[in-house]
Amino acid sequence: MSVLKSQRGESTVQFLDTARELEIYTIKTCAKFPKRYMFLITKDIVALASAVYNNAKAANSIYVTTADDARLRREYVTKANCTLQCLLSQIDIAHEFVKTTDANKPIKSTVWEQWATLITTEAKLLASLKERDKKRYGNLS
């Protein structure tokens, strides 16, 4: 039976879906940037977005049974968060350089806003995951 939309809550693995959505959005957006920025800016931005998703996926793939497993999972979540912050910095730099696409169409402010929204949402989800894991695996020795 389906759950009513008004009664739906946040999934515990929403951080994976958001990280995936962030990577897809990043690739689509960077593909519109002028080609002259590919090796200077966009290649690194796409690599960072991919690393966020890969680290989140790696953290989720760990089945925690020992304290070492919990530590490794926490490390992957921390790496995902650090990479996310680096991604935000690189997007800010790209915003300074890239004002139009190759077809001289301006890049709308909504594009940058959507990107920032995805990043802040993912950062909140990763922080929430760390807190849940702390409560859940804190008693492992």
- The residue ranking higher by pLDDT, 53 or 13, is 53
> Whole-prediction pTM value?
0.87
In the numeric block, which tokens belong to residue 2?
């389906």
Coil/strand/helix, residue 95: helix
- Cα-Cα-Cα-Cα dihedral of 92, 116, 50, 38, to 10°? -40
In the numeric block, which tokens belong to residue 49?
């977005």
Separation of alpha carbons 26 and 29, rounded Å: 5
- Of the listed ranges 3-12, 56-65, 81-90, the least confidently predicted one is 3-12
User: What is the mean predicted confidence (pLDDT) over 101-112?
Assistant: 82
Provide the pLDDT for residue 8: 56
Q: Tell me, what amino acid is at 112? A: W
Q: Is the dihedral of CA 42, 120, 50, 109 positive or negative?
A: negative
In this predicted structure, the answer to whether residue 115 has a pLDDT above a threshold of 90 is: yes
Helices (H), 61-107: 67-97
Residues 30 and 97: beta-carbon distance below 8 Å: no
* Beta-bridge partners for 100: 106
Q: Mean pLDDT for the chain?
A: 89
Provide the pLDDT for residue 141: 54
Count of C-beta atoms within a 10 Å radius of residue 49: 28
